[in-house]
Amino acid sequence: MSVTDTRRVLPVTRRAQLLEALATRGTVRIADLVDELGVTAITLRRDIGQLAAEGLVQRVHGGATLLPGVLPTPTTTGAAPTGSSPAGTSPDHAPDASAPGDVDTATPATPTGALGMLVPSLDYYWPGVVRGAEEEARSRGLRIVLRGSSYAGDDESPQLERLATQPGVRGLLVAPTLDGPGAAATLDWLARSPVPVVLLERSAALGPHHEAAESVVSDHRLGAAMAVRHLAGLGHRRVLVAASRTSPTTRHVLAGWREACEDLGLPCDDDLALPLPPHEAPGWEDAVDALVDRCAGGGGATGLLVHSDPEAIALVQRCEQRGLSVPGDLSVVAYDDEVAGLFSPALTAVRPPRRSVGRAAVALLAARLADPGRPVHRVLVSPSLRVRASTAPPAL
């Protein structure tokens, strides 16, 4: 068949012929099919890309391999009907992509399809993680199916079940709520998940043997320690930390603060670590006033790390109302850097690598799909410190 003749063949028929060749051999090389099918290499690459997007084949270096359980579609050229297979093959035949002479396995096959993603918020912190995941997914021929949950601590397994059974979903990116009455049921589901799972900004042990779950997290301990070291480098010798009682990040921030204070010889008594209630809680204003009291007057703290941005902004505003200047009387570092730079004065802030967390999680899940037997990986991504106008050397 000549190239001119082949151009009259419908694309769907041409792709069915490609599937037939894959069903017979397991893997094919584009260079071989150019002559056999009488079609250009560019057209073949386009056909393979389309079949990969439909979840029928995997692209490999220089060709393609058939996914397990995929059978050729009937064509007008005498293909075997759906449900049958060519002589010498079986419907569940899984081709060996590493067969000598067939493909170059130095480049791993690229997964196709969709990844489900469940995050607790779509309006703070998590949009950056989602954007990073979407960018990495697109670069790998994948798409993200996004869902939101909450920090309520409810059983999230029904949401995860629905997400895992969405058409084309091959794996999950999940930031589960690990505190509350529903946490045990959620963890139990994750241990039995029908698809691979990568945790986002969470670490957990799953199953009866407490095996580590695959995860990508920001190094919040390091971020908090960076903030303390920045303040100490300016000359501050008494650094308070204030953090939300309900955030999963709080324990890591407190650990990093304590670790840095101990290393630097700064006081790190428990009364220097102050829990903050939610903004809507009745005790919010009293808690902020108590924090300002700890920083006012002689002998008080001159440096403060606050998680997260809204709490830091509320605190600075309260300081102004009470005649305490930032950074003249008190240097403040916010943790999260969602909106810290927009405030006046612009707040020095620790910025977790949100986008990088999303990208790394997709890469980790894609690697798991390409090699299901690989060891569990737990990725730690470092944050950065953005120095702005809210920190300065302490007043003499």
Distance in angstroms (rounded) separating the CA atoms of residues 3 and 11: 13
One domain for residues 194 and 308:
no
213 and 361 in a single domain? The answer is yes
- Angstrom CA distances, 103 to 23, 24, 108, 109, 329, stand at 16, 16, 10, 10, 67
Do 214 and 264 sit in the same domain of this protein? no
Asked if residue 256 belongs to a domain, the reply is: yes
Judge if 212 and 162 occupy the same domain.
yes
Which has the closest alpha carbon to 342: 391, 388, 307? 388
Domain count for the chain, please give it. 3
Q: What is the mean pLDDT of the chain?
A: 83
What's this model's pTM, rounded to 2 decimal places?
0.71
Is 394 domain-assigned? no
The CATH number given to whatever domain includes residue 189 is: 3.40.50.2300
Residue 387 maps to a domain: no
Report yes or no on 124 lying in a domain: yes
Residue 385 has pLDDT above 60, yes or no: yes
In a domain, 395, yes or no: no
322 and 370 co-located in one domain: no
Integer distance in angstroms from the first to the last C-alpha of the chain? 89
CATH number for the domain including 92?
Answer: 1.10.10.10
Same domain, 194 and 239: no
Q: Which of 108, 129, 150 is the last residue of a domain?
A: 108
Is residue 296 pLDDT above 80, yes or no?
A: no
Task: Name the nearest CA neighbour of 148 among 119, 179, 173, 177.
Answer: 119
322, 268: one domain: yes
The predicted pLDDT at position 76 comes to: 35
Pick the closest to residue 19 from 92, 71, 69 (CA basis): 71
The top-scoring range by mean pLDDT among 58-62, 164-168, 215-219 is 215-219
Asked if residue 150 and residue 94 are part of one domain, the reply reads no
> Residues 6 or more apart from 83 whose CB is under 8 A from it?
71, 91
| 235 and 349 in a common domain | yes
Q: Residue 141 belongs to what domain range?
A: 113-219+355-382
pLDDT 10s digits, 235-273 = 999 999 999 888 889 999 999 999 999 999 999 999 899
Q: Are residues 175 and 225 in the same domain?
A: no
Chain segment 34-54, per-residue pLDDT in tens:
777 777 888 888 888 877 776
